[in-house]
Structure 1
Amino acid sequence: MDTKKKAIDGGKWITISTIISTAFQFLQVSILARLLEPAAFGIVSVCMLIINFFFIFSNLGFSNSIIYKQESDRKVLSTLYFLGLMLGISMYFIIYFSSPLIVEFYKEPKLAKVVKLAAFYFPIIYCGQIYLFILQKELRFRSVALIEIMGAVSGTIVAITLAYSGYEETSLIYGQLAMQSVRTLLSIGLGFRLFIPMFYFNVTTIREHLRFAVFNVGDSLLGYIQGNCDNILVGSLLGLKSLGYYTIAYQLAVFPINKLNPIILQVAYPILAKMKENSDELKKSYIKILDLISFLNFPLLAGLFITADSLIPLFYGPGWENTIPLIHIFVLQSMCSCLAHPLFTIAYTKGKPNLLFYLNLVTLLVKLPLLYFFGKQWEVTGIALAFFTSTFVNLVLGFFIANHLIGAFIKEFLSNIYKPVLFCLFMVSAIMLYKSFLGYDGIVNTVAQIALGGLVYLALTFRYKLSFLEIQNLRRSL
């Protein structure tokens, strides 16, 4: 199977897994939002902040280096595997024994049990993580899709069942652990034919991977700080209830890009890594990725922006209205973020993870003072505005980096993106007219708004962006 066919096949399977896992995740959040208080989501959000922080140091970016180097040496992979296990176990004990400090910082006793429980995440995930990396490297996206689907289904079932049984915030953590356990078992089962670890450990054999990891860890650390300092500030200064509203609003707004972008980027990176010496092809591929991402993400985000006042009461029930103005801000932030994401495919393909490190450093230096001044002026809304502003700066600087790596592309990018932007404006206008004359409350009006917006966007797409011949060719390729 050639590269193009592998990309199409991979896209199909990742799309299927994303649709199914998204449906189950949305079901889980919708049900748990009615069973749990906002403070419970705030507690879990703090817990995941801690987990994600330690994940930076235990991961080391080996997934990117394995794919970039197309690593297949069994001794090297065995060393990486056992190093990952040692790091995972170390992270467990560090998090477990640091729980009193976390409780003291947030003044929330319930965090002790939740954090200690969540610490099991690390020894579980590192038993099978390298197999997932190898499956991605070998473009085994059907296997990757199966792993993601089964993990999402298992995690959702466990979380909802335990929430109904009165486990409160720990139901979310048990759901996460169940999801990771299933993913680990399936990764080992499906990847064991590709790699059987040998009893070998020699750090000198992974020097190149470690050098690659230095900037990756630095970039991830800075990315973590600038991506989560707003959550830390909200939770510590405004309380866990405010953090619960903030978390739900953010998660809903980034839902489309967190689900759609991996479909494209997870398939694109291993394939681009195989053509890393051809800058012209990389530029063409990068522009196509940006075009596809904007075309798919923008209508979903614009639709969420205009229908948030209908969707929130319908899916989450009463008491979550405070998330609506935050969602409006996060939609704009997500539009910038989805266009910034593909830069990593170019940076890693070119072997330049250091540029991502410097980008996140500058973004952090911009974001911190904005958080202080905006948060002081407008509290949680100001913090969201600071996040949006710094993300826009990150996008602009990221485009300069991409221009440096692959050559001028802005003119062609702008000639592509103006269409989905205009289509979204027409879509939003049509929904606003509907709401003005017919209302927005209830399931009927909500479904009608979504259907109207979708029809407007699709009609404009088929009329002005995709010709009938292009649609036929796309059908044949699928």
Structure 2
Amino acid sequence: MSNKNKAINGAKWTSISTVFGAVLQFVQVAILARLLHPSEFGLVSISTLVINFLSIFAHFGFANSIIHKQESDVKNLSTMYFFNIITGFILLLVIYFGAPLLMLYYKEQQLVGILRISAFYFPIVFFGQIYNILLEKELKFKWIAVTDIICSTVGTTVAIILAYQNFQAKALVIGLLSTQFLKMVILNFLGRKLFSPIFYFKLKEIKDHLIFGVYNIGDSLLSFVNTNLDTIIIGGLLGVQQLGYYTIAAQIAIYPVARICPIIVQIAYPIMAKFKDNIPQLKSAYLKVLDLMMYCISPLLFGLFMLAGNVIPYIYGAGWEPTVPLVHIFVFMGLFTSMVYPLSTLVYSTGKPKLLFYLNLFTLIIKFPLVYILGTHYGVNGIAYGILASSFFAMLANFYIIKIIAGSFMDDLIKNTAKPIFFSVVMAAGILAYKYLVGNTGVLHMIIQIALGGLIYLAFTLKYKFSFQDLKNLKTAIS
């Protein structure tokens, strides 16, 4: 099978997994929002924050270096395998015994127990992590997708059952651990066909991977702070209840970006890495990736902006109304973020991870004062506006980096992004017209607005982007 066909097949399976996961998470949050207090979502958000931070040091960028270098040496892979496992147990101890220190900052006694349960995430995940990387390297996206579907179903079921049993915030954490444990078992079973570790551990022989990972860690650290600065400040400055509102709003608005963009990047990067020395081809691939992202992301974000006031109270119940204005802000941040997302494919394919480090450093220098000052004076909405402004500047810096790597591209970029954004604006105008001319209350009107928006966007896309014949050709390629 050619790389193109592998990519199409991978896109099919990864899309199936992502759509399934999106629906599952939507159901989970909709149910748990009626069972848990906003402060409990805030506690879990802090726990996730700690896990994400320590994960930066855990895999040392091996995922990117293995794919970039097309690593297949059993000795090197074995060294990385045992390095991950050792690190996983070290991080377990760090979180378990360091939890009381974090409680002092957030002033929440329950946080200690939540963090100590969450600590077991690391040894569980790192027993299967290298197999997930190797499956991606070999473009085995079907195996990964089916695994994710099975495991997320089990984890969501566990979380909902435990929430009904009054486990409160612990229900979400245990559900996550259940997902990761089952995934680790399945990945070990599937991955042994590609790699069976031998008892071998010499760090000096993976020196190139470690060097590659230095900038990767630096970039990841800055990226972590950039991504989670709002959560860190809100939890300490405004309390876990405001953090709960903020977390749910971010999940709703950023979810399309967080789910769709990684699919495209996950499939594109291994393909692009195979022709890393051909800059014109890389630039062409980058523009195609960005084009696809914008056609997928922009209608979802514009539609969410128009419908947030209807959907959130109906789906999540009373008490979550403060999330609506936050969602409106996050929609634009999601648009800027999706424009930056494909940069990693270009940077890692050309072996220049330090450029991402510089981008995140620049963004952090701008973001911290904006978020802190606006958050101090205007609360949680001020923090959201600070994040929005810094995302815009990060997007501009991202374009400058792409020009350094691939040369002039802005004319093509504007041509690629103008259409989906214009189609989305027309879609939003259609929904707005319905609201004022027909009605805006009740489930029926909400469903009609969603359907109307989808039909408008689809009609413009079929008319000016994809023909029915293109869709038939794609269906043939997928099948």
- State the TM-score bracket (shorter-chain normalisation): over 0.9
Secondary structure of the corresponding residue to residue 35 of structure 1: coil
What is the aligned partner in structure 2 of residue 356 from structure 1? 356
Residue 174 (structure 2) pairs with residue 162 (structure 1): no
Residue 468 of structure 1 and its aligned partner are, at CA, apart by: 4.0
Residue 41 (structure 2) pairs with residue 41 (structure 1): yes
Residue 440 of structure 1 and its aligned partner are, at CA, apart by: 2.4
Distance 2:368 2:169 in 1: 30
Distance 2:449 2:374 in 1: 33
Deviations 1:285-342 (A, max 9, x none): 1000110000100000100000000110111011000000000000000001011011
Distance 1:235 1:441 in 2: 35
Residue 133 (structure 2) pairs with residue 136 (structure 1): no
Letter in 2 for 1:211: I
Letter in 1 for 2:64: N
Letter in 2 for 1:107: K
Unaligned runs of 5+ in 2: none
Letter in 2 for 1:465: K
Residue 438 of structure 1 and its aligned partner are, at CA, apart by: 2.9
Cα distance change on mapping 1:376 and 1:105 into 2, 3 Å: closer
Q: State the identity %.
A: 46
Distance 1:183 1:96 in 2: 23
What is the aligned partner in structure 2 of residue 470 from structure 1? 470
Distance 2:263 2:58 in 1: 25
Letter in 2 for 1:62: F
TM-score by length of 2: 0.98
Distance 1:279 1:476 in 2: 30
What is the aligned partner in structure 2 of residue 211 from structure 1? 211
What is the aligned partner in structure 1 of residue 329 from structure 2? 329
Letter in 2 for 1:61: G
Residue 146 of structure 1 and its aligned partner are, at CA, apart by: 1.3
Secondary structure of the corresponding residue to residue 116 of structure 1: helix
Distance 2:269 2:377 in 1: 41
Letter in 2 for 1:343: L
Residue 280 of structure 1 and its aligned partner are, at CA, apart by: 1.1
Distance 2:370 2:176 in 1: 33
What is the aligned partner in structure 1 of residue 458 from structure 2? 458
Unaligned runs of 5+ in 1: none
Residue 410 of structure 1 and its aligned partner are, at CA, apart by: 1.1
Deviations 1:433-470 (A, max 9, x none): 11113332322111111000001101111122223443
What is the aligned partner in structure 2 of residue 99 from structure 1? 99
* Matches for 1:45-444 after TM superposition, within 5 Å: 45-444=45-444
Deviations 1:346-404 (A, max 9, x none): 00000000010011001000001111222233211110011111111111111111111
Residue 476 of structure 1 and its aligned partner are, at CA, apart by: 2.9
Distance 1:245 1:150 in 2: 29
Residue 475 of structure 1 and its aligned partner are, at CA, apart by: 3.1
Q: Which runs of 4+ in 1 moved over 6 A?
A: none
Distance 1:472 1:154 in 2: 35
- Check the 8 A contact 2:79/2:201 in 1, yes or no: yes
CA RMSD between the two structures: 0.9
What is the aligned partner in structure 2 of residue 30 from structure 1? 30
- Check the 8 A contact 2:233/2:372 in 1, yes or no: no
Equivalenced residue count is 478
Residue 199 of structure 1 and its aligned partner are, at CA, apart by: 0.3
Distance 1:127 1:468 in 2: 46
After TM superposition, the structure 1 stretch with the greater mean CA deviation from structure 2, 468-477 or 194-203, is 468-477
Distance 1:407 1:131 in 2: 36
